[in-house]
């Protein structure tokens, strides 16, 4: 929970700065620091995320988009972050790219959307749909890591470059890495294009279809 601890420490320093401190000589966290472990069930974890203000994305969000789906899913999809529709509804992938993702799940993988679990790297919408900043992604990541730990999927499909980068710490471009299989932390990770990229670049759908066929063969 180093990221969470650092985020809390940074928040406390910003508060001190706002009330007039120019420097501090004391260490804000000492022996009686709060318990920073995250809840060990999805409902409690969601409650905690719903009231999270650990990064600046909390200021502009309408809803926290925790994630949804089968809590015992074998297959999990991870995107970058909520867009406008997701932010207003509090659900992941419910806008135009969500419609495409649902079609991919139902028409190619022959699964129901409720059979899988869908989440994002950050749970609050970045303003103007910008890519999450590094500190935002790393601050939010413990929630996703806990979701993965609790759901225990066999396969995680990372959608787009950002999801792949923060799940693996690898910055290889998505066009190069898509459709490959990476075994880590007890699951197989398969990167593919983000549905919003496919909407902008329909010619890439052929490659995404190949990736989905690979995923289907592994299920
Ligand atoms: S994006 Fe994540 S870390 Fe930032 S406020 Fe939202 S839930 Fe908290």
From the CA of 45, how far away is ligand 1's center (Å)? 12
Would you give the DSSP letter of residue 131? Answer: P
Cα separation, 21 vs 12, in Å, equals 11
pLDDT at 133 over 90: yes
Q: Which stretches does DSSP call E strand in 72-193?
A: 75-79, 117-120, 155-159, 182-184, 187-192
Give this prediction's pTM. Answer: 0.85
pLDDT number for residue 35: 58
Cα separation, 165 vs 80, in Å, equals 10
From the CA of 213, how far away is ligand 1's center (Å)? 34
Band of residue 185 on the pLDDT scale cut at 50, 70, 90: very high
The reply to whether ligand 1 has any atom less than 6 angstroms from the CB of 167 is: no
The reply to whether ligand 1 has any atom less than 6 angstroms from the CB of 140 is: yes
From the CA of 83, how far away is ligand 1's center (Å)? 14
Looking at ligand 1, which residue's alpha carbon is closest to its atom 2?
140
The answer to whether 39 and 147 have CB atoms below 8 angstroms apart is no
Residue whose tokens read 């992938």: 93
% of the chain residues with pLDDT over 90: 83
Torsion on CA atoms 50, 93, 217, 42, rounded to nearest 10: 10
Using CA atoms, how far residue 69 sits from 35, 66, 76, in Å, is 28, 11, 9
Cα separation, 87 vs 211, in Å, equals 28
């Amino acid at each position: 929970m180093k990221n969470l601890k650092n985020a809390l420490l940074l928040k406390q320093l910003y508060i001190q700065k706002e009330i007039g401190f120019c420097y501090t000589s004391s260490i804000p966290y000492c022996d009686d620091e709060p318990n920073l472990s995250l809840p060990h069930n999805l409902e409690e974890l969601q409650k905690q995320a719903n009231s999270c203000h650990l990064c600046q994305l909390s200021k502009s969000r309408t809803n926290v988009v925790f994630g949804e789906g089968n809590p015992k899913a074998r297959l999990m999809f991870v995107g970058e972050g909520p867009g406008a529709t997701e932010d207003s509804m509090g659900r992941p992938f419910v806008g135009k790219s969500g419609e495409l993702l649902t079609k991919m799940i139902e028409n190619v993988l022959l699964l129901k959307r409720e059979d899988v679990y869908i989440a994002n790297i950050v749970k609050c919408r970045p303003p103007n749909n910008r890519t999450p900043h590094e500190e935002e992604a790393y601050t939010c990541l413990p929630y996703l890591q806990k979701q993965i730990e609790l759901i225990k999927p066999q396969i995680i499909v990372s959608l787009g470059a950002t999801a792949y980068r923060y799940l693996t710490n690898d910055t290889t471009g998505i066009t190069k890495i898509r459709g490959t299989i990476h075994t880590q932390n007890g699951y197989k990770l398969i990167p593919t294009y983000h549905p919003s990229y496919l909407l902008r670049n329909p010619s890439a759908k052929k490659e995404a279809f190949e990736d989905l066929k690979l995923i289907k063969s592994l299920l």
